[in-house]
Amino acid sequence: MTVKRIHGVSVISLTPFTDSGEVDVKSLRSLLDFYLQAGVHGVTLLGIMGESNKVTERERDVIVRTAVEQVAGRVPVTVGCSAPGTFQTIEFVRRAEAMGADAVMVAPPPNLKNLNLVLDHYKRISDASDVPLVVQDEPTTTGVVLPPSFFTGVVEQVPTARYVKIEEAPTIMKVSRIHEATGGKLELFGGLGGVYFYEELQRGATGIMTGFAYPEILVRVYERFTAGEKDEARRYFYQYLPLIRFEAQLGVTGVAIRKETYKLRGAIASSHVRAPAPTVDAQTLAELADLVSFLGLNQR
């Protein structure tokens, strides 16, 4: 397979549903076009923001096939393949690879505290498939903390592992510590909604994977930073940091608020989030609209 390097803003895609809760293929295609028009450098499917824990295996295949077809090679497509067991994860990885994924993202099995077993999990995945692997460091959801020293073993024993997505706060320090522990052999992506994106780039991050509803802002920060215009990248980032912060503080309702935003921006037809899920109240939506207006952004 031709390996496409992941870099820059690899947006974590939402999974659009109809008002009745079915996967909305038409809206998924529309959303992917919206991301590409925003200038993203990659698309990541079936992450936490994509409600991966709420879709069936049949729906996973529909989502991945649709995305690979719609993106049509214009940017790399990464597919989230996390699962509680190694056998299941390998099945997800192989199916994603067969459908044309450029990379897969895998978090540790939930609540697996034995890091030797976590490393073995990744080794077995690497033995089973040649597709590049993103190790998802996501302790809030998995309950598994991966110290920087863990990634030394990843470099030595997991040949397909090329990237790490860091979600453990503070991400800024962890970017530096993983970079030091691995001698820079893994490319690092920030997350957490983009709250520390500029600082992560300063520490040597390759980019970011997040579902922030104005991806064009992060694209512009990245492109200015990599063009050597760091002062301008910082100014632009800090200008819109209140909006990034507003999304990030919503926690588990982040999916809902982002779906509401993308619906207002015309990218998807419905803001439906599959149950169980909290709703976004009218006051929160009003505050979001006020902030968007204050920052001079158009909903579209």
Instruction: Give the CA diameter of the chain.
Output: 51
Q: What is the pLDDT of residue 232?
A: 98
Contacts of 279-282 with CB under 8 Å at 24 or more apart are 279/253, 280/250, 280/253, 280/256
Rounded CA separation 64/50 (Å): 12
SS3 of 42-110: the string is: EEEECCHHHCHHHCCHHHHHHHHHHHHHHHCCCCCEEEECCCCCHHHHHHHHHHHHHCCCCEEEECCCC
Nearest to 30 by CA among 190, 209, 247, 268: 268
Rounded CA separation 10/210 (Å): 7
Please give the domain boundaries of the chain with CATH numbers for all domains: 8-239 (3.20.20.70)
Binding residues for pyruvate: 209
Per-residue pLDDT of the chain (300 residues; tens, 9 = 90+): 567 899 999 999 999 999 999 999 999 999 999 999 999 999 999 999 999 999 999 999 999 999 999 999 999 999 999 999 999 999 999 999 999 999 999 999 999 999 999 999 999 999 999 999 999 999 999 999 999 999 999 999 999 999 999 999 889 999 999 999 999 999 999 998 999 999 999 999 999 999 999 999 999 999 999 999 999 999 999 999 999 999 876 555 689 999 999 999 999 999 999 999 888 889 988 999 999 999 999 765
Is residue 100 within 8 A of residue 113, CB to CB? The reply is no
193 phi, psi to nearest 5 deg:
75, 0
Q: What is the pLDDT of residue 189?
A: 98
Is residue 1 within 8 A of residue 130, CB to CB? The reply is yes
pTM: 0.96
Q: What is the pLDDT of residue 170?
A: 84
Q: What is the pLDDT of residue 300?
A: 59
Nearest to 219 by CA among 5, 29, 11: 11
Residue 282: partners with Cβ closer than 8 Å, 6 or more residues away: none
Residues in the chain: 300
Binding residues: 209
Nearest to 49 by CA among 197, 143, 165: 165
- Which secondary structure element, helix H or strand E, spans residue 177, and what is its range? helix 171-182
Q: What is the pLDDT of residue 278?
A: 83
Q: What is the pLDDT of residue 90?
A: 98
